[in-house]
Amino acid sequence: MAKIVGAITTSHVPAIGRAIDKGLQDDPYWKPFFDGFPPVRDWLAKVRPSVAVVVYNDHGLNFFLDKMPTFAVGAAPEYRNADEGWGIPTLPPFKGDPALSWHLIESLVADEFDVVTCQEMLVDHAFTLPMALLWPDQRWPVRTIPVCVNTVQAPLPSASRCYRLGEAIGRAIESWDTEERVVVIGTGGLSHQLDGTRAGHINKEFDRKFMDSLVDDPKWATQYSTLDLVELVGTQGIELLMWLVARGALTGKVDKLHSNYHIPISNTASGLMLLENRD
């Protein structure tokens, strides 16, 4: 059966792409952020996953406010990105895994998650930048499956439902009758708000508590409604829902192998965690 080797959670601020393009990894402003990734890359080189399930939120490149699914799963043979207006260069295409995608989709529907199935799909910076951070040579040694979660337009899925989605993804992957090694990547956050009277809002105390909870008490954040979470972490900080999906996919106990937390990255509290799935 397929095996989930672990989960990686990381921020996806568009400015990261510009910093990569301009070679600013050692710039004093960016260095504390980029210095968090070598241990994760070393782990990936050691465990050698063959598939990455990337849980992210679309920012209008593939879905817009007129059609916003709660959950969508890619089932395409290839995924590409495009210019979103941030000045971020497009990256090489990402190979898909239609067979595993369809297995995942069918399993999720059987678990009563009504997902939108995308046989063609553009992926935006929330997908591409974490991939570029993890594999900076951009040669993509993994096939990919995008899982998109609505964090843009109300009503949003609850933290509890997102965690249960992650559990369903974990069951689906580990019922796949292959020897694939799968890493789950959850992107977004942490606390930040880009607009309104609370623009610039960051809640370091909550971010730290949330990151700690993902190790031994992963359902801790599910006590909060989406409105509670927006109040705590800001309008865009609700992207922590993708972290909950990724953590929910890990079956059983986990070991925290690495973490990094840095403020600010473009008015965003940037987080990074590497959680290894125990046998």
Positions annotated as catalytic residues are: 125, 192
Tokens of 81: 């990105």
CA distance 222 to 86: 33
Question: Which spans in 192-257 are helix H?
Answer: 204-216, 226-233, 240-248
- The owner of tokens 């694939």 is 180
CA 215 to chain centre: 17
Decide: 100 and 58 in contact? Cβ < 8 Å.
no
Which sign, positive or negative, has the C-alpha torsion 252, 256, 257, 263?
positive
With CA atoms as reference, report the closest residue to 211 among 246, 236, 167. 246
Region label for 174, one of left (φ > 0), alpha (ψ between -120 and 50) or beta (otherwise) = alpha
Residues in CB range of 249: below 8 A, 6 or more apart: 4, 7, 53, 166, 167, 169, 170, 173, 184
Angle between helices 204-216 and 240-248 (to 10 degrees): 10
Say which residue the tokens 């959950």 belong to. Answer: 71
